Amino acid sequence: MKIKLFIALLCHCCSMATNAQLKGLVQGFDAAGTKKPISLAKVKLLQSKSGVLTKEDGTFELVLPKTLPDTLIISAVGYVPDSIPVNKNDRFIALDIILYSEKILPEVIIEYRKKSKGISKMKTLHVEELTSAELRKAACCNLSESFETNASVDVNITDAVSGAKKIRMMGLDGVYTQIQMENIPYLRGLESSFGLNSLPGIWIESIQITKGTGTVVNGYESMAGLVNLELKKPSEMEQLFVNGYQNIFGRSELNLNAGQVINEKWSTGTFAHASSVYGNIDHNNDNFRDLPMGDNLALVNRWAYQGKKMKSQFGLNLYQDRKVGGQTSFKRENANVWPTDSYGLLINSRHADIFAKTGFFGKRPYQSLGIVYNLKYQELDGLFGLRNFAGLEKRVYINAIYDDYIGTTDHRFKVGASFVALDISQNVDTLREGRKELIPGAFFEYTYTGSRLTAVAGARYDQHNLFGGQFSPRAHLKYALNELTDLRITGGKGWRVPNYMIDNISLLASSKTWIAPSDIKPEISWNIGGSLVHEMRLFQNKAGISVDFYHTFFENQLVVDRDTNFNNIIFKNLANSSFSNAFQTELNFSPIKNFEIRLAYKFLSVKAVYDGRVQQQVMIPKHRGFVNLAYHTRNKRWEFDLTCSVYGQSRLPSDTLFDQNQKEQFSPIYPMVNGQITHVYKKLEIYLGGENVTNFKQQNPIIGSQNPFGQNFDATNIWGPIMGITIYGGFRFSIARTKKKI
């Protein structure tokens, strides 16, 4: 009965990368100063001659031709017609078009603005899009720093030795969030702990954050949400882009992007990154580096082909990351000295993957076949004092999707198959784990699009060679209560096979013994939730408010118990005993022109059984307040951005103060304030900023730092910043691509 209910809900999913689909909303502005959707407005492409009429709610969908750019002509009876240029990149945005009545000034024709951050009105799922303009508000040197101006995603430091960071959505660890690079799985397996540093934010064109379970097309692992990264496209990116960065702690970065259009069919893009941390910093005088030293090199080269009946893109992604941390006296060559007199950290990560996507177009619109391929090799070696980690991963991923419709485009479907082959081995101290996985899968998804209701229902079945079959139904619904208010409801199942060693590698930065789980079982969760998004006018300017709530319940979860035993970290499977509740509300408005304010509040209740009772998971604050202020001058020469987050109390492990009888300990409330000033002069941008400008630091982040090889050593109880105020500066220089005249 539950499965029938999921199938009956019917939902709309994110468009495939092979569909060049343009969506939008056409509204009319009359002499009385009111706006209303225009039905039966003509939306036509000038060169390709293709066009559609808007629906009753003013929305339209139009398949872009293979030859672009083109000009979109919008016209309606009683309104002044106008046009807007479109290109390949416009499939990632929703156009908000306003036609003005013939009774008012004819020179005011069309209004179009894409905000740096917003919730997509055209998507059935709750999708927040961060554009490159949003990423420029902060230093954004790598992916872990790309969410500083966003309230939905939290980024946490995992320990005080390695400097590794992990993202969290809905209070759940980042392994429960499916991260993709242009719909290809990314940052999973051995990449999950240190991979956030491997992708510079300056390479990214946009980030789409989906809350709740994703669609079945994207796979079975989306349990708390999905983050999709879109890199700059070869045919649209700058001919040359150079970015430099330097901060006061000895961190230097240089990024280089270059795009080239070879001919009408071929284009290529190259992304290069080099960074180094050379400051041997110990501001809290505990003899441990506040930030590990090391270097990172990354290179991506991608190619794109656009033909008449098919298009394709493929590329290569390489990176190497090396870290040296621990006590200030430790050097890389000390790792071969035994016995050692200083505590050291070494991380060596090497990655290579080949990716490709091919799309074939059918004889009618929306009919296509897309195939995604990915081959990955990942090697990771680590040293935490006297403790060693070694891991090797080889992965093959293929996903084929056929897209078509039944009768009319109001009834669309996707059907496809996927295959994953994985060979992974991991060693921690005396623990050994290795397995080979073969996971073929199949899926079907149906989408209904009505005047107000858009819904999608999908299901997939995956057969795991070690753990048997898993059936994953998912459903999503969007209903337009009116032209300004959208209600979304989502629900579904997700699952994953845990890698308890790499998922928790930061816990090696302690003297505690790991107690391995008795057996490895798939983690299975159900997520249900919804959101309400309302647009309005405040201070005579456009504003918006959103409210969302999501509940995630685990049929089985592999949890880390740090409360039961003082000397041990216990990994155990919990059946029907762990869950999370996540509530968030956000308001954005402009009190004056060119000044935007974004306010948010988030509540997280993430609980499981620890030490025999249901408790909040450690190091997760229940409350978070968020403020983002952005202002740019009228001539757009100066940009000012300020972000302030206030984090509530977090529960700490019961052994934090070596008192096993004290079961309730909490971190204090603390602020995190970041700011940046950017000056734009022609092709050059210069920025100066500060992170943690209040200079708040967690006192004594390392327990037992004076005796790092003793039984009380623990550098994993991190609930706040361990670095003080960070001042940084940098530049961005770009040579834009010359656009062809139409």
The answer to whether residues 382 and 523 belong to one domain is: yes
- Better pLDDT: 597 or 143: 597
Q: What is the pLDDT of residue 663?
A: 46
Q: Which two tokens stand for residue 60?
A: 């339209």
Look up residue 726 and give its two tokens: 């960070």
Distance, CA of 627 to CA of 645 (rounded, Å): 6
**Whole-angstrom Cα distance, residue 402 to residue 414?**
6
Distance CA 418, CA 218 (A): 10
Q: Output the domain CATH number for residue 52.
A: 2.60.40.1120
pLDDT digits 0-9 by tens, 176-191: 999 999 999 999 999 9
What is the predicted pLDDT for the residue at 91?
A: 59
Of the residues 58, 80, 114, the one at which a domain ends: 114
* Dihedral sign, Cα of residue 101, residue 105, residue 109, residue 110: negative
Q: Left (φ > 0), alpha (ψ -120 to 50) or beta: where does 155 sit?
A: beta
Same domain for 532 and 558? yes
The answer as to whether 612 is a domain residue is yes
Beta bridge partners, 395, equal: 376, 422
Nearest to 559 by CA among 577, 534, 544: 577
Q: Are residues 394 and 438 in the same domain?
A: yes
- pLDDT (0 to 100) of residue 721: 94
Q: How many CB atoms lie within 10 A of CB 368?
A: 22
* DSSP category for residue 366: T
Residues 63 and 138 in one domain: no
* AA letter at 734: S
Measured CA to CA, the distance from residue 415 to residue 13 in angstroms comes to: 13
Average pLDDT value for residue range 618-638? 95
Instruction: Examine the pLDDT at 193 and tell me if it is beyond 90.
Output: no
| Listed ranges 83-87, 354-358, 382-386; the one with the highest mean pLDDT | 354-358
Asked if 234 and 268 count as a contact pair (C-beta separation under 8 A), the reply is yes
499 lies in the same domain as 350: yes
The pLDDT value recorded for residue 463 is: 98
Burial of 675 (0-12, 13-18, 19+ CB in 10 A): middle
CATH number at residue 729: 2.40.170.20
Q: Residue 668 — pLDDT band, cuts 50, 70, 90?
A: very high
Q: Check residue 396 and give its pLDDT.
A: 98
Residues 38 and 145 in one domain: no
Q: Is 0.85 surpassed by the pTM of this model?
A: no
DSSP string, 458-520: EEEEEEETTTEEEEEEEEEEEEEEETTEEEEEEEEEEEE---HHHHTGGGGSBSPEEE--SS-
Among candidate residues 163, 205, 174, 217, the one with its CA nearest the CA of residue 16: 217
Q: Where residue 655 falls among pLDDT bands split at 50, 70, 90?
A: low
- Whether 314 shows a pLDDT value over 70: the answer reads yes
Quote the percentage of the chain above a pLDDT of 70: 92
Check residue 8 and give its pLDDT. 41
Does 439 have pLDDT greater than 50? yes
- Let me know if residue 663 belongs to a domain: yes
Per-residue pLDDT, averaged over 427-432, amounts to: 92
Residues 424, 450 contacting (CB under 8 angstroms): no
Query: CA 87 to CA 64: how far, in whole Å?
Result: 8
Structure tokens at 28: 């009319």
Give me the pLDDT at residue 338, please: 61
With beta carbons less than 8 A apart as the criterion, state whether 465 and 432 touch. Answer: no
Residue 78, in any domain of the structure = yes
Q: In 3D, which of 179, 167, 304 has the Cα closest to residue 233?
A: 304
Boundaries of domain holding 98: 2-114
Determine whether 685 is exposed, middle or buried from the number of CB atoms within 10 Å of its CB (0-12, 13-18, 19+): middle
- Segment 258-265 mean pLDDT: 93
Looking at the chain, the whole-number percentage of residues with pLDDT higher than 90 is 66
Lowest mean per-residue pLDDT among 97-111, 314-328, 571-585: 97-111
Query: What is the band of 592 on the pLDDT scale with cuts at 50, 70, 90?
Result: very high
Evaluate if residue 112 carries a pLDDT over 70.
no
pLDDT at 741: 42
> 466 with 580, same domain?
yes
Mean pLDDT of 588-602: 95
Q: Could you tell me if residue 740 is inside a domain?
A: no
Predicted confidence band at 311 (pLDDT cuts at 50, 70, 90)? very high
- The closest of 403, 491, 401, 409 to 448, measured between CA atoms, is 409
Q: What is the mean pLDDT of the chain?
A: 89
Of the pLDDT bands very low, low, confident and very high (cuts 50, 70, 90), residue 262 is: very high
Q: Which residues pair with 730 in a beta bridge?
A: 245, 687
Q: Do residues 162 and 347 lie in contact, with contact meaning Cβ atoms separated by under 8 Å? A: yes
Pairing of strands 293-306, 344-361: unpaired
Report whether 258 contacts 268 (CB < 8 A).
Answer: no
Q: Is residue 119 part of a domain?
A: no
Residue 668 covered by a domain:
yes
Across 82-112, b (16+ Cβ under 10 Å) vs e yields beeebebbbbbbbbbbbbbbeeeeeeebbee
Instruction: Output DSSP code: residue 279.
Output: -
User: Is 681 strand, coil or helix?
Assistant: strand
Strands (E), 307-367: 310-326, 344-361
Selection from 270, 380, 278, 280 nearest residue 321 by Cα: 380
What pLDDT does residue 339 have?
A: 58
Least confident of 29-43, 244-258, 269-283, 575-589: 29-43
What is residue 660's predicted lDDT score, i.e. its pLDDT?
Answer: 42
Taking residues 401-420, report their average pLDDT.
94
pLDDT at position 100: 83
Last residue of a domain, one of 93, 114, 135: 114
- pLDDT, tens only, 7-24: 343 333 333 334 447 788
> What is the C-alpha separation between 268 and 239, in angstroms, rounded?
10
Q: ∠596-171-721 over CA atoms, to 5°? A: 70
- What total of structural domains would you count in the chain? 2
Tell whether 742 is covered by a domain.
Answer: no
Q: Both 215 and 80 in a single domain?
A: no
Residues 110 and 160 in one domain: no
Least confident of 360-369, 604-613, 648-657: 648-657
Stretch among 83-87, 373-377, 404-408, 507-511 having the lowest mean pLDDT: 83-87
Q: What average pLDDT does the segment 319-331 reach? A: 94
Residue 360 lies in a domain: yes
| Burial of residue 172 (number of CB atoms within 10 Å: 0-12, 13-18, 19+) | buried
How far is the C-alpha of 725 from the C-alpha of 41, rounded, in Å? 54
Which is it for the CA torsion 645, 648, 653, 658, positive or negative? positive
User: Out of 63-72, 425-434, 661-670, which region has the weakest mean confidence (pLDDT)?
Assistant: 661-670
Q: Are residues 330 and 473 in the same domain?
A: yes
| Domain finish residue from 69, 86, 114 | 114
* 190, 288: one domain: yes
Q: Which of 105-109, 212-216, 467-471, 660-664 has the highest mean pLDDT?
A: 467-471
Please name which of 214, 39, 25 lies closest in space to residue 122, comparing C-alpha atoms.
25
Q: Does residue 369 sit in the same domain as residue 508? A: yes
For residue range 41-64, what is the model confidence (pLDDT) as tens digits?
A: 999 888 777 888 888 888 888 887
Residue 617 three-state SS: coil
